[in-house]
Amino acid sequence: MNQSDLPDRFPIPFANGATSTTIRTLPTAHQTASSTDAPASLEDGFPIECFTPEGSGGVPPNGKDLNAILKWLSEQAQWNQAGGPALFDATFASAIGGYAKGAKLASSATNGVEWLNLVDGNTTDPDGVSAANWARVGIPAAQLGTNGYEKRASGVLEMWGQISIGQDSSATVSFASLFPELTISAIYNVQISWVDSSISSGSVQGSSGISTPSAGGFTIYNDGTGRVHHWRALGA
């Protein structure tokens, strides 16, 4: 096929303006037919009564059901045509026996992140605390320079920079982007390393320290002569 073979998109779903007199919710399970109505369902489609002559006890198909299934299908088609993502749904996962190996779902918690399912029958929420057998697939990004960052496809975020601090003083480093809140502990597991500049002879002037980092930054304490501190943060 060619790109030129792309069919027309649905600007609105089929039966978009239907009311209760022309459409009804399509049930999943079989519905018992009456002498005047033989409801369709996902289980049966249109039931046998709709294929039986009226003279033999049959009941014509109900137009409400036809509108219902065509609206449902066209809503899904429109979502796909618009590039809508697939998101985790616990009820759906249970109904289908879990997501198949190779399924991809967009993260509901972090923009730009997708989850790749590694096993068949996976019913765990990839964004949840009990997630299992999902591989994170992110969108790499970077800003290089004296102060910059690198966001890796694995979800690891690295940031670095430098800051000048006066004698016996302190300064707060604010990260350009918060470290993703994947778990509570992840906020406090950001690893910080830093060095302070040296005098011309190469010996470090005074001593320094840092506060416990958070998802948004940390504080550097400068003891001694004012100088430039170089820092690096790594976390997820």
Q: Does the global pTM surpass 0.75?
A: no
pLDDT tens for residues 121-164?
999 999 998 899 998 887 666 677 788 888 776 777 888 888 88
What is the rounded distance in angstroms from the CA atom of residue 54 to the CA atom of residue 128?
53
Q: Are 137 and 104 in contact (CB under 8 A)?
A: yes
pLDDT tens for residues 71-85?
999 999 999 999 999
Is there a single domain that holds both residue 145 and residue 231?
Answer: yes
DSSP code for 68? H
User: Per-residue confidence at 187, pLDDT binned at 50, 70, 90?
Assistant: very low
Q: How many domains is the chain partitioned into structurally?
A: 3
First to last CA, the chain: 42
Is there a single domain that holds both residue 13 and residue 40?
Answer: yes
Residue range(s) defining the domain that contains residue 27: 3-81
Is there a single domain that holds both residue 104 and residue 71?
Answer: no
DSSP code for 6? P
Is there a single domain that holds both residue 127 and residue 146?
Answer: no
Q: Read off φ and ψ for residue 37, nearest 5 degrees.
A: -145, 130
Is there a single domain that holds both residue 156 and residue 222?
Answer: yes
Helix (H, G, I), strand (E, B) or coil at 64: helix
